[in-house]
């Protein structure tokens, strides 16, 4: 696994912290699945007078790397302001950069994303941009100073899995040494395994766990699938073939009747 801005994470599982039935269930999901990064959205209304402190304290107590995000920001300047607040609140210069361009599909705004990434990299942030599988956009984000990319699997909250495997494979192949996290759109552990089999470095999800009937069990299922996919990738999988190939030789087989 590639490291993220010099940090080698203990597991390739990054987990969001929104929409759980309770913080206690969120805590159990992290502890039992050994997710190694917690993303947390910073709302401006909660940041004022540190009104969100009760919840943030619980996040810090998870004892994992915190990755604040700029969820819900629709312009570069909003995202930049939110990132600066997040840096103060969580004492980290890691930031997951989300600039939403389309309120229905929550698709990233490529122009605002590059603009905000440029500013934040200059301001000393370690930027994790939430992006699509677009190669040109990836190129611009790397130019802006990002050293990690977070391509989507599918639009946020859809649970559709990797809807453009071809595009994701191209992106992976184009930048083999850039750490990449599949972020958003995953619904099932098998989809996370698929992402890891493709050679991505980590997987980030939230809704699929938080909204499951048993979020703790689902988090553990994802953790296992991510490990399985990771292990499969290092084991160098066979190439698919068009023709059947018997796994035992035909020659020398006994004739029966």
Partner 1 sequence: MAKPQITIVGSGVAGLCLAAELAERGMVFRLFDRHGRPAEHGCSWWAGGMLAPFCESETAEEPVVRLGQEAADWWQRHNVDVKRNGSLVLALGRDAGELDRFARRTSQHEWVDEDGVAALEPDLAGRARRGLFFATEAHLSPRDALTCLVGELKSRDIPIETANWLDFSDNDNVAGAPSPISKIDCRGLSAADALTDLRGVKGEMLMIRSADIRLSRPVRLLHPRIPIYLVPRGEGVFMLGATQIESSNRNGATVRSVLELLSAAYALHPALGEAEILEIGVDARPAFPDNLPRIRRRGDRLYVNGLFRHGFLLAPAMARMAADYLFSGQIPEVMDENFN
> Annotated catalytic sites, by residue?
96
Closest to partner 1 by CB, 27 vs 134, is 27
Q: How far is the CB of 177 from partner 1 (least distance, A)?
A: 37
Q: Is 134 in the site for partner 1 (CB under 8 A)?
A: no
CA 165/CA 152 separation, integer angstroms: 11
24 Cβ partners below 8 Å, 6+ apart?
Answer: none
Shortest CB 57 distance to partner 1, Å? 8
User: Which structure tokens are listed for 22?
Assistant: 């309770």
Residue 217 sits in the site that holds partner 1 (CB under 8 A): no
Task: Confirm or reject binding of residue 23 to partner 1 (CB under 8 A).
Answer: yes
Considering only the stretches 21-29, 119-127, 146-154, 164-172, report the one whose residues sit in contact with partner 1 under the rule CB under 8 A. Answer: 21-29
Rule CB under 8 A: choose which of 53, 88, 139, 143 binds partner 1.
53
Residue 159 has, within 13 A of its CA and on its CB side, a CA count of 10
Mask of contacts with partner 1, 140-169, x by CB under 8 A? -----------------x------------
Query: 133-166 burial by CB neighbour count: b if 16+ within 10 A, else e?
Result: bbeebbebbbebebbbbbbbbbbbebbebbeeee
DSSP 103-116: TTT--B-HHHHHHH
Residue 199 is a binding residue for partner 1 (CB under 8 A): no
DSSP secondary structure letters along 104-165: TT--B-HHHHHHHHHHHHHTT-EEEEEE-S-HHHHHHHHHHT-S-BEE-SSSTT-----S-H
Candidates 48-56, 116-124, 134-142, 168-176 — which segment interacts with partner 1 by CB under 8 A? 48-56
Smallest distance from the beta carbon of 18 to partner 1, in angstroms?
Answer: 8
Residues in contact with partner 1 by CB under 8 A are: 21-25, 27, 43, 45-46, 48-49, 51-55, 58, 157, 207, 211, 213
């Amino acid at each position: 696994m590639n490291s993220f801005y010099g940090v080698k994470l203990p597991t390739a599982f990054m987990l969001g912290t929104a929409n759980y039935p309770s913080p206690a269930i969120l805590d159990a999901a992290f502890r039992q699945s050994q997710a190694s990064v917690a993303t947390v959205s910073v709302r401006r209304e909660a940041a004022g007078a540190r009104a969100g402190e009760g919840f943030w304290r619980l996040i810090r107590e998870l004892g994992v790397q915190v990755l604040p995000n700029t969820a819900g920001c629709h312009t570069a300047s909003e995202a930049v302001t939110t990132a600066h607040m997040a840096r103060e609140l969580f004492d980290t210069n890691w930031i997951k950069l989300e600039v939403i361009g389309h309120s229905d599909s929550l698709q990233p705004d490529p122009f605002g994303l590059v603009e905000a990434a440029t500013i934040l990299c200059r301001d000393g942030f370690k930027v994790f941009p939430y992006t699509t599988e677009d190669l040109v956009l990836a190129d611009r984000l790397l130019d802006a100073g990002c050293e990690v990319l977070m391509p989507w699997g599918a639009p946020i909250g859809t649970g559709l899995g990797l809807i453009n495997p071809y595009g994701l494979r191209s992106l992976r192949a184009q930048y083999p040494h850039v750490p990449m996290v599949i972020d958003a759109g995953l619904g099932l552990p098998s989809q996370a395994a698929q992402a890891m089999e493709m050679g991505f470095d980590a997987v980030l999800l939230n809704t699929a766990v938080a909204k499951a009937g048993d979020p703790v069990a689902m988090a553990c299922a994802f953790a296992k699938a991510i490990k399985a996919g990771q292990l499969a990738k290092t084991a160098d999988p066979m190439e698919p073939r068009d023709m059947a190939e018997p796994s035992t030789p035909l020659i020398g087989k006994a004739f029966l009747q």
